[in-house]
Amino acid sequence: MQFIDLAAQYQHLKQRIDQRIQTVLDHGHYIMGPEVEELEQKLADYVGVKHCITCANGTDALQLAMMVLDVKAGDAVFCPTFTFFATAEVVAYAGATPVFVDSDERTFNICPSHLEQQIEKVIKEGKLKPKAIIAVDLFGLPANYPELEKIAAKYELKLIEDAAQGFGGEINGKRAGAFGDIATTSFFPAKPLGCYGDGGAVFTNNDEYAALFRSYRVHGKGKDKYDNVRIGINSRLDTLQAAVLLEKLADFPHELVKRNNLAALYNQQLKGDYQKPSIPQGFSSSWAQYTLTCIDRDMLMARCKEHGVPTMIYYGTCMHQQTAFNELGYTDADFPIASRLAKQVCSIPMHPYMTEQNAENIIRSVNHSLQA
């Protein structure tokens, strides 16, 4: 059994994907070919924003956002401690200081009240200038944007949505990728919408930001890439990856239904002494992961392994626990909820091509391990 079955998805889409790839091989525009623009238009339409600009990966998407917002040394950027490293990495890479925030106990996303405490603390200390918030749609569930937008407005901070996992999620009909001043996503193969290599994108309704993104991703180009008006990077989405994504995006709404059906089955049938994912009223998840918290995680994982069910830990190390951020001087006591999650979370297989038999096996294994 696969944790995420990309081969089954390819078999389902094979003819269409193969044809799209052949088209690129025939026209030969491997960099910024017509598929890239077609994809950007379709992604913008799907998300419901004015501009989508693709790039080389989800980390670059975040880094480009730092560049566009002119985040620099002396700035504080607030982000959850319970996330993938890239979220905080780009802040430090820009020379700014990441200020970590604890998780909401039920959703595992950034906790708005702790965020406000951390902002107040930075203001009081007076050393750093509060600049932006990066919220993460962890495991597919959009962060609490209605609350985060209020906090961003109150303290005049820019809000960035890291929708690397959230693409496909919604809040009251508004799609992930449409929140904040800028949203970013990743097309890493295992993400809800993945390509066959690295890929990423940014989303914004702001025309000025969109123009800057288009410049920064191609060496700070002016009228063309040999006219360089600012220091940029080289971060484009390959035409071949855009071709793959066009076919995957066409099937994505259908896949989302299947992910939600599997999540509903898990919600209904998994029974034991652990916490299941909690989706607030009006929110929907893209189910990038289905994650349980379990006091005896080792036992759960061992039993699943015995039954041939793969499990993964996302994430076993919070940002404040990472060696690279040692110098920030945080301790687990600063983030009690996230520190507990890092010890207790366990994700079980989740993808749209799960067979009924495998789903039953997973449910049986998890229930068995938790009753023993």
Ligand X SMILES: *Cc1c(COP(=O)(O)O)cnc(C)c1O
Query: Which residues of the chain form contacts with ligand X (CB under 6 A)?
Result: 57-59, 83-84, 86-87, 136, 162, 164-165, 186, 188, 198, 200
CB nearer to ligand X: pick between 63 and 284: 63
**106-145: burial string, b at 16+ Cβ within 10 Å, e else:** ebbbbbbebbbebbeebeeeeebebbbbbbbbbbbbbbbb
- CB of residue 268 to ligand X, shortest distance in Å: 27
Distance CA 310, CA 361 (A): 11
- CB of residue 198 to ligand X, shortest distance in Å: 6
Phi, psi of 350 (to 5 degrees): -150, 115
- CB of residue 246 to ligand X, shortest distance in Å: 18
CB nearer to ligand X: pick between 248 and 303: 248
- The amino acid that residue 4 corresponds to is I
- CB of residue 199 to ligand X, shortest distance in Å: 7
Distance CA 187, CA 89 (A): 18
DSSP string across 158-207: EEEEE-TTTTT-EETTEETTSSSSEEEEE--TTSSS--SS--EEEEES-H
Q: Find out whether 294 and 311 touch, Cβ atoms under 8 Å.
A: no
CB nearer to ligand X: pick between 60 and 181: 60
Residue nearest to ligand X (CB): 58
CB nearer to ligand X: pick between 142 and 200: 200
CB nearer to ligand X: pick between 99 and 363: 99
**146-165: burial string, b at 16+ Cβ within 10 Å, e else:** ebbbebbeebebbbbbbbbb
Name residue, tokens 């904040």: 180
Verify whether residue 223 is a known catalytic residue: no
- CB of residue 120 to ligand X, shortest distance in Å: 26
The single residue of 129, 191, 223, 225 carrying the catalytic annotation is: 191
Residues with a catalytic annotation lie at 191
